[in-house]
Amino acid sequence: MNEKRKLLVKRLGRVEYGAALAIQKTTELAVKEGRDANTLLLLEHPHTLTVGRRGDSSGILMSAELLATRGVSVFETNRGGKVTYHGLGQLVGYPIINLSPDREDVHRYVRDLEEVLVRTMSDFGINAFRIEGLTGVHTERGKIAAIGVHISRWVTTHGFALNMRDEALENFLGIVPCGIADGGVTSMERASGRRPALIEAVPPLVANFGDVFGREIIAP
């Protein structure tokens, strides 16, 4: 398999959002210039709200004082979508991959990310699905994973956030999140009745990512 078909997976642990954004930018440039392999960053953020290109501060219902009290940081980003939450109990994935020349289709890329997450939920016995007209992955109990991406010269940044544990849900109450149907948000813990460790989702998610995107997984 040629170098463009390889995917380097990096597990970064808990990383502050600004630091993770810097890692994304450095990796994006290296992938564009052919110095690094396509990369999937997997991590967890402390409490963070991000505002996408279609959002603004009106989507944040908490006051600046309450945000500060709760230790919630706010970042404006160039990803698609409006406002979403990142925090403890979420597995966040940032694929930094070159879609050129054979996958130059933004909608296909987003649908493929959804497919990776739907398959991963199935591996845990959770029935997850797409909803026409919305971005992300849903269950009967609510939205379980959010997706927001940015693509420059067909190299992707940003990605997905999978709600694994219930503590990931509390701060959704303080925002108007994008792509939410009537069911609100949920977690793997709530959908399955079992409290998973974040590491449990990594092997099936990585395997499904490799299958859907046709990538050979490599480790540092």
Catalytic site positions: 178
Contacts of 211 (CB under 8 A, 6+ apart): 119
Strands annotated E in 26-154: 38-44, 48-51, 73-76, 83-86, 90-96, 137-139, 142-152
Q: What does the angle CA 211 – CA 217 – CA 198 come to, to the nearest 5 degrees?
A: 85
Residue 75's nearest CA partner among 110, 11, 24 is 24
Rounded to whole angstroms, how far apart are CA atoms 152 and 83? Answer: 21
Rounded to whole angstroms, how far apart are CA atoms 40 and 69? Answer: 33
Retrieve residue 134's tokens. 């919305």
